Amino acid sequence: GKYRVISTKSMPGTRWINLLIEQDCRVEICTQKKTILSVEDIIALIGDKCDGVIGQLTEDWGETLFSALSRAGGKAFSNMAVGYNNVDVNAATKYGVAVGNTPGVLTETTAELAASLSLAAARRIVEADEFMRAGLYDGWLPHLFVGNLLKGQTVGVIGAGRIGSAYARMMLTVSSYKPMVNNLLLGKEPRAWKRFSKRPMCRGPVVDEVALVEHLKENPMFRVGLDVFEDEPYMKPGLADMKNAVVVPHIASASKWTREGMATLAALNVLGKIKGYPVWSDPNRIEPFLNENAPPPA
Ligand code: GLV
Ligand code: GLV
């Protein structure tokens, strides 16, 4: 291969690897066992010559890494994620590195997880499952795991973009609520959201988790499902003890189809930039590059 492309993690499927190999790239996949690579780990991976990198949302792609990538001749970086709050796009632009993300392929998968969490939280699925497995079920009872009915309820979506809108569509069939998509969907803004929402930002930090734990303690009937956390991978003290919370480890995009699609898109992002291909014919690719007009480094 003429071009050296690094993936900081092993990714699902083989299509992404084949695409790169077929197009003159040598692909190197980091084999480090630790879950989260440090900036130093990644600098070592980049080395003296590296044309492009596929990275992960757990990595800190800022000034240091983009300058190292640029020094190694790198022109492209893609996050294997739709979110990019781990990426300093301005720094990338400054060093002439194009930055890509992976929208589109994870919309429905992520919305399905949100719908699953909503239903699981409302109907106390996890608590009930634990109860069964603990051998505690000794017969039907009128009070056993009584939860909340969603039919007729208002479903609010804060951030009705691609994923939020897909979630809203799914939940509308459950709640039969009149659709009000692409706006703040809320008829009446629930007090809870006023109290918890901190910053208009994707992922965990949108929720004030300490306030959420207090609210869960005071209101046993209030139920929540969470996929991301304020200080990921940690949960704020007390959250793990709350029976009225369902918590899963940032798996919203984790369907086989989607994860393979994300890996493929990330590879195409990097490949397209290295080879100078015109970007995307795929109608799902609404934002092919976050900084398509990144100037060459000075
Ligand atoms: C996951 O959080 C993603 O942004 O893809
Ligand atoms: C429950 O099984 C019922 O028949 O109401």
Answer yes or no: is the C-beta of 69 below 6 A from any ligand 1 atom.
no
Give the pLDDT band (50/70/90) at residue 209.
Answer: very high
Q: Distance from the CA of 2 to the center of ligand 1, in angstroms?
A: 31
Distance between CA atoms of residues 87 and 75, nearest Å: 15
Answer yes or no: is the C-beta of 73 below 6 A from any ligand 1 atom.
no
- CA quadruple 90, 78, 250, 168: dihedral, nearest 10: 80
Answer yes or no: is the C-beta of 207 below 6 A from any ligand 1 atom.
no
Give the pLDDT band (50/70/90) at residue 199.
Answer: very low
Give the pLDDT band (50/70/90) at residue 186.
Answer: low
**pTM for the complete prediction?**
0.86
Name the residue type at position 161: G
Q: Distance from the CA of 220 to the center of ligand 1, in angstroms?
A: 30
The pLDDT, as a whole number, for residue 117 is 98
Atom 3 of ligand 1: nearest residue by CA position: 81
- pLDDT of residue 207 exceeding 90: no
Atom 4 of ligand 1: nearest residue by CA position: 83
Atom 2 of ligand 1: nearest residue by CA position: 83
Atom 1 of ligand 1: nearest residue by CA position: 81
The pLDDT, as a whole number, for residue 294 is 53
- pLDDT of residue 200 exceeding 60: no
Catalogue the E-assigned strands of the chain. Answer: 3-7, 25-29, 52-55, 76-79, 98-100, 224-226, 245-247
Q: Distance from the CA of 122 to the center of ligand 2, in angstroms?
A: 19
The pLDDT, as a whole number, for residue 202 is 56
Answer yes or no: is the C-beta of 253 below 6 A from any ligand 1 atom.
yes
25-53 pLDDT, tens per residue?
999 999 999 999 999 999 999 999 999 99
Give the pLDDT band (50/70/90) at residue 184.
Answer: very low
The pLDDT, as a whole number, for residue 193 is 40
Shortest-distance ligand to the CA of residue 161 = 1
Active site residues: 203, 232, 250
User: Which atom of ligand 1 is nearest the CA belonging to 81?
Assistant: 5
- CA quadruple 103, 104, 107, 110: dihedral, nearest 10: -50
User: Which atom of ligand 1 is nearest the CA belonging to 228?
Assistant: 2
Answer yes or no: is the C-beta of 83 below 6 A from any ligand 1 atom.
yes
Shortest-distance ligand to the CA of residue 263 = 1
Distance between CA atoms of residues 58 and 97, nearest Å: 19
Asked if residues 12 and 259 have their Cβ atoms less than 8 Å apart, the reply is: yes
Average pLDDT of the chain, as a whole number:
87
